[in-house]
A and B are shown apart, each in its own frame.
Chain A
Amino acid sequence: MVNEKMSKIDRLAEAINEDILAMTPEEVLQEAKVDGEDTLGFAKAMETWLQQAIVQANGSRLRNARAALERDQERSKDNVVPIGKREAKPRPEGFAPDTMAARNGKELSERDKAALEEDFDDLFDDDAWGDGEDETDQ
């Protein structure tokens, strides 16, 4: 299928590109040498360049990463909405919490002692039980 978007020159370039990609290493070298190219010199020059390029690109990537991080941090600052500190409300005068936690787990409070005594009184109050109710099983 013809790619209508491609110009004639593009098609020409693509056809030659395909041909080069399909060439064997031997064919490539042979043709280049016939054309008088210094293929070995070029390969060595590229290898030398590549070593320098890798170092340079590493530095560049690091700088870009740092810049991106700084941008990110700046953006984060803009997104943060400060929450005001809540002041502790003063307790009503005379308020004293009477909980086990407030007593640090020690001793019973006066109120607890009174409640406990009331519970015992109820428990040992003979009048609270109906007559003969316990004898039905005998």
Chain B
Amino acid sequence: MQQVEIENQHHSLDEFKAALSLTEAEWTKLRCLARNRCRVGRPGEEDEVLQDAIYRVLEGKRRWPKGLNLFAFLSGVMKSIVSENRKIGFRRNIDRDIEVAADAASQDTSAADLVLESEIVTYVMALFEDDPEAEALAEGIMEGWEKDDLLGLFNGEVTRYETVRKRFRRKINAHPEIKSMIHGE
């Protein structure tokens, strides 16, 4: 009975394979998502992590929940893979739930992680030294502000907010290997 419910809540393997008939732009989008996930944990390994995520689903180790966008799903799997690599041994059975995996990864705040995070935050903020609007946006995002709060930085002007947000994202994406830039790895 429980197995039937699980089957009903997830896409079949055939549906997943069919959904992977992607266009050039869609593959590129997946690579962008992978690069974002790998920025700190596995810099430069986005192709491997993307393939690993897809392979886990093909093997039946991860299942694609119905109602969840394919890109959001694979991005979540990649997040889980990267955090798994960073903190081997911390997760038993939580691979089943992407959100739980995310929380567990964040909870594991070892001293080394805190130092690394502090270095990365400093580095990220330094990227926006000559762009006060993007700097304020980056700070707000890292403090966990909601969109309404972030819009407040731009007096509620949506277009200005979106322009700066795009600039912010482009700048970060131009530095996909932040960790290696800091440590020279």
Chain A interface residues toward B at CB < 8 A: 1-13, 15-17, 19-21, 23, 25-26, 28-29, 31-32, 35, 37, 39-40, 42-43, 46-47, 49-50, 53-54, 56-58, 60-61, 64
B124 lies within 8 A of chain A by Cβ = yes
A64: chain B residues at CB < 8 Å are 59-60
* Shortest Cβ gap from A8 to chain B (Å): 4
Q: Are A20 and B33 in contact (CB under 8 A)?
A: yes
B136 lies within 8 A of chain A by Cβ = no
Fill in one digit per residue for B67-94: 1 if any A CB lies within 8 Å of its CB, else 0.
0010110010001000000000000000
A23: chain B residues at CB < 8 Å are 29, 32
CA distance A20 to B25 in the complex (A): 12
* Shortest Cβ gap from A63 to chain B (Å): 10
Q: Identify which of residues 85-143 in chain B touch chain A, using a CB-to-CB cut-off of 8 Å.
A: 102-103, 105-107, 109, 113, 117, 120-121, 124, 138, 141-143
Give me the 9 closest cross-chain CB pairs, A-B, nearest first.
A25-B25, A57-B58, A2-B144, A8-B142, A43-B27, A43-B24, A15-B141, A39-B28, A29-B25
Q: Are A57 and B55 in contact (CB under 8 A)?
A: yes
| Chain A to chain B contacts (Cβ below 8 Å), 18 pairs | A1-B146, A6-B103, A7-B117, A11-B143, A13-B36, A15-B141, A16-B172, A17-B36, A17-B37, A20-B169, A21-B69, A32-B31, A37-B28, A43-B27, A53-B51, A53-B58, A57-B60, A64-B60
A1: nearest chain-B partner, CB-CB: B146
Among B27, B72, B117, which residue has the most Cβ atoms of chain A within 10 A?
B27
Q: Are A12 and B138 in contact (CB under 8 A)?
A: yes
Q: Are B173 and A16 in contact (CB under 8 A)?
A: yes
A-B pair number, CB within 8 angstroms: 126
B144: chain A residues at CB < 8 Å are 2-4, 6, 11
Q: Are A42 and B141 in contact (CB under 8 A)?
A: no
Chain B interface residues toward A at CB < 8 A: 17, 20, 22-29, 31-33, 36-37, 39-40, 50-51, 54-55, 58-60, 69, 71-72, 75, 79, 102-103, 105-107, 109, 113, 117, 120-121, 124, 138, 141-146, 165-166, 169-170, 172-174
The main secondary structure of chain A at its interface with chain B is: helix
* Shortest Cβ gap from A112 to chain B (Å): 58
* Shortest Cβ gap from B58 to chain A (Å): 4
B105: chain A residues at CB < 8 Å are 10
Q: Are B120 and A9 in contact (CB under 8 A)?
A: yes
A60: chain B residues at CB < 8 Å are 59
CA distance A61 to B36 in the complex (A): 30
Whether A21 touches B72, Cβ cut-off 8 Å, given contacts A5-B106, A16-B173, A29-B24, is yes
Q: Are B24 and A12 in contact (CB under 8 A)?
A: no
CA distance A49 to B55 in the complex (A): 10
B124: nearest chain-A partner, CB-CB: A12
Q: Are A21 and B75 in contact (CB under 8 A)?
A: yes
